Structure 1
Amino acid sequence: MAHYKAADSKREQFRRYLEKAGVLDTLTKVLVALYEEPEKPNNALDFLKHHLGASGPDTPDVETMRLELAELKQKYELILEENRELKGKLAEYEPSPEEKHPE
């Protein structure tokens, strides 16, 4: 009998943990959305994954985005360097503050 109560206590602790973390609420909402779906999807598990955000982006899309990000970072660094060079050149041709407003 003591073994039964220990298992029941662990279940109750786990249930409280899920409730506190918001898991039960989120699962309930997704299951209600599936229940209220007028045309049930062929694959209920895919529906759940999609609505829970577990499916994630496709791998080829992620790789394409990583390559694009690396390329954009490289372009950004080049533009920053060009900006520094142009500011330096501009500073050479601009009159100093004392020359602008003689007193």
Structure 2
Amino acid sequence: MKRLLIFSLFASVLLSACSQSKASALIGDWEAVAADKGRCHDNFSIHKDGTIIYSRTGGQKTTGTYKLVDGDTYRIDYGGAGSDSIELKVEGGQLVTKFGNAGSKACTYTKK
């Protein structure tokens, strides 16, 4: 019983550390790769405090707060203006995003 308790505590700490390192990889300012410019948001700025800002050409900025839901899926809350589901993951040093709405295509970003 004691071993099971120790194992459970160790597993909890390990999973927590993995979640934090996954989220910390997202932190930073990201710019759309050339192939995705014009089709995707131009920039994503993801902050450690839970703030996310993304923009399009012409200066239209959207600001919200993000929270991990499950796996790579996050919920962006826009306050009184609603919320979105988005997949955020870092692969090979690039940020890959995909909004949860039907027909959404993946977009790729590099760190500025």
TM-score, scaled to structure 2: 0.27
Higher relative contact order (CA 8 A, sep 6+): 2
Q: Which structure's CA Rg is the greater one?
A: 1
TM-score, scaled to structure 1: 0.29
Structure (1/2) with the larger helix percentage: 1
